[in-house]
Amino acid sequence: MPPVSDLDPTLRSALLDLSRSYHPPGDPYPWLTPWRLEDLGDPGFRAAHRVRFNVMSGAMANGIASVELVEAMARGGMVGIFGAAGLGPERVAAALDRLQTSLGDRLPWGVNLIHSPNEPALEEAVAALLIARGVRLVEASAYLDLTPAIVRYRLAGLEPDPADPQRGRPRHRVIAKVSRVEVAAKFLGPPPPRLVAKLLDEGAISPLQARLAPTIPMADDLTAEADSGGHTDNQPLVALLPALLELRDRESKRHGWTIPPRVGAAGGIATPAAAAAALAMGADYLVTGSVNQACVESGTSPIVRRMLAEARQGDLAMAPAADMFEMGVKVQVLKRGTLFPLRAAKLYEWYRNHESLDHLSQSDRDQLERTILRQSIEAVWEQTQSFFQRRDPRQLERAARDPKHKMALVFRWYLGLSSHWANSGQPDRVVDYQIWCGPAMAAFNAWVEGSHLESPENRRAAEVALQILHGAAVLLRSATLQGRGRRIPGDWIRPRPLPPEELLRRLRSPHPSATSPPRTAPPEDPRSVPLAPSLGVR
């Protein structure tokens, strides 16, 4: 190994440009050969979802993962998932109207279906809507167990595989986002017989679909959700991803799956180093989340995007979740610039220690009404009743019997609206903003400091994803060189965000000496879609 001072200066520039090769004089083998971003990850993911790159934008609830964000990702050659969680069927239907018009079946996109243990009717209604509207891809999230809704979606349209009529071929694809091994095992196996029988008895599936159900896994893809914003178990990716990869292999062998479900990585995918580490551990695809919330296409407000762009390590906290409040489930949120985590924790403390609102002390009641609700409990209850009369009247029936449940619904009024205040940028409620955020946001902000991406006004979802993927490829290619005993100075392989025009140039550069030839695709293939609009280049 030559000393660092004797290394060819042209090696440094070659390391950062994937289209370049490097062959030092006197060495029989090249040190570097061209790489393409299109070759990172499992090729089956690209084929199944008809994408150019193995990257997906994960669903963020309440439409934060907006139709605009989904469109940008799809047009950039990646999968975009609409954040339907927390929205009623009418709002979801409106989003489907636009996505089916703008993207149709030509480009890759999907919709989130979230487990709603406190509102099973809503989960069922959204699943029925997705089936009726012909949505072909769902990201299933926050599931603790399989439900009739997700099983019904998976089995609807199931037909015999022409290559093997004894096996089923699903029409509906499911990407399951999980953070626990026991939940992952449920999605790696076939639909539970008891739920299949229930759906058959109800006429929700046909006898043929019931017969074919044991021949398919519940999910085509399994996303290992590590320490993320929103719902999270704060799992480290380095522990979770290998465990799920091993589980996938074991369960696929046990069930005899001819095409094992792919396993991707989510949570913390915000820098080249994180993405490279996930791919090196065996991730078949990558999922971005928190970083998209600060992009111009997200469904949140400009003030929230600015707050996220200023987040640093240590600016996060765990707070009670609105949708699973009574269960004690928590979400990861931004604490810098907001009092939401403290106030939400206070609500859960009162809920845990009291059986009804009438049991609150006068001082606690005053704090609740003046500081948190900013109106009387009676006024909030009237609004809550109006909401659930439309959404799920059974909640009101239960509250009439159970004063503790009534207290939970009143507290959930604040927890639910706090995210809406943030998304709409309501100026008099800044201190109550609920902003879902993971440590990935702080890592991304540190990485882009000093570049054009430091400003949230310049952050576009497709470009952010491709900047991360490009940097990851630089690191992985450099690692192959160092694995052969070629020590490279650390500052030579520290990729920084490229100007958008330069990133586009490198994506379009032909790689005649690459190990695999460039793909050619017909105009309707999403891999041939021009990237310039998604990256903001005119």
- Mean pLDDT over 217-221 rounds to 99
State the pLDDT confidence band at 490, using cuts at 50, 70 and 90: confident
**C-alpha span between 423 and 299 (Å, rounded):** 7
DSSP character string of 116-172: -TT-HHHHHHHHHHHHHTT--EEEEES-SS--HHHHHHHHTT-EEETTEEEEEE-SS
The average pLDDT across 443-455 equals 97
Residue 4 binned pLDDT confidence (cut-offs 50, 70, 90): very low
Percent of the chain at pLDDT above 90? 79
**CATH fold of the domain at 45-292:** TIM Barrel (3.20.20)
Lowest mean pLDDT among 81-95, 206-220, 306-320, 524-538: 524-538
What tokens appear for 339 in the block? Answer: 């009092």
Q: How far is CA 534 from the centre of its chain?
A: 19
The pLDDT, as a whole number, for residue 2 is: 52
Beta-bridge partners for 114:
141
Nearest to 508 by CA among 538, 479, 532, 478: 532
The single residue listed with the structure tokens 């004894």 is 166
Roughly how many angstroms between the first and final C-alpha of the chain, as a whole number? 45
Has residue 100 got a pLDDT over 70?
yes
Identify the band that residue 509 occupies on the pLDDT scale cut at 50, 70 and 90. low
User: For residue 73, is pLDDT > 70?
Assistant: yes
Q: Residue 139 — pLDDT band, cuts 50, 70, 90?
A: very high
Q: Which residues of 504-517 are buried (b: 16+ CB within 10 A; e: fewer)?
A: bebbeeebeebeee
Dist CA 98 CA 112 (whole Å): 16
pLDDT at 17 over 50: yes
Q: Look at residue 484 and tell me whether its pLDDT is greater than 80.
A: no
The confidence band for 140, taking pLDDT boundaries of 50, 70 and 90, is: very high
Cβ atoms of 527 and 77 closer than 8 Å: yes
Please determine, for residue 522, whether its predicted confidence score (pLDDT) is greater than 60.
no
pLDDT reading at 512 higher than 70: no
Which amino acid is it at 168? Answer: G
Taking the C-alpha atoms of residue 496 and residue 507, their distance in angstroms, rounded to an integer, is: 16
Q: Which residue has the tokens 């810098």?
A: 336
Measured in degrees and rounded to the nearest 5, phi and psi for residue 96 equal: -65, -40
pLDDT above 70: residue 357 = yes
Confidence of residue 481 (pLDDT cuts 50, 70, 90): confident
State mean pLDDT over 305-314: 95
Least confident range from 292-301, 460-469, 504-513: namely: 504-513
Rounded CA separation 175/123 (Å) = 17
The full length of the chain comes to 538
Separation between Cα atoms, residue 348 and residue 363, nearest integer Å: 17
**In the structure, what pLDDT confidence band is assigned to residue 269 with cuts at 50, 70 and 90?**
very high
How far apart are the C-alpha atoms of 240 and 265, rounded to whole Å? 9
State the average pLDDT for the chain: 91
Q: Specify the pTM.
A: 0.89
pLDDT in tens, 278-296: 999 999 999 999 999 999 9
pLDDT at 529 over 90: no
Q: What angle do CA 149, 187, 225 make, to 5 degrees?
A: 100
The pLDDT confidence band at residue 538, using thresholds 50, 70 and 90, is: very low
164-169/159-161 β-pairing: antiparallel
pLDDT tens profile 185-201: 999 999 999 999 999 99
Query: When comparing pLDDT for 118 and 288, which is higher?
Result: 288
Query: What ranges do the domains of the chain cover?
Result: 4-38+458-535, 45-292, 307-434
Long-range contacts of 491-499 (CB under 8 A, 24+ apart): 492/11, 492/12, 492/15, 493/15, 493/16, 495/16, 495/272, 495/470, 495/471, 496/447, 496/451, 496/471, 497/447, 497/448, 497/451, 497/452, 497/453, 497/467, 497/471, 498/467, 498/470, 499/452
Residue 487 backbone phi and psi in degrees, to 5 = -75, 130
Count the helices and strands in the chain (H runs, E runs).
Answer: 22, 13
Distances (CA, A) of 291 to 105, 232, 266, 276, 444: 27, 16, 12, 17, 7
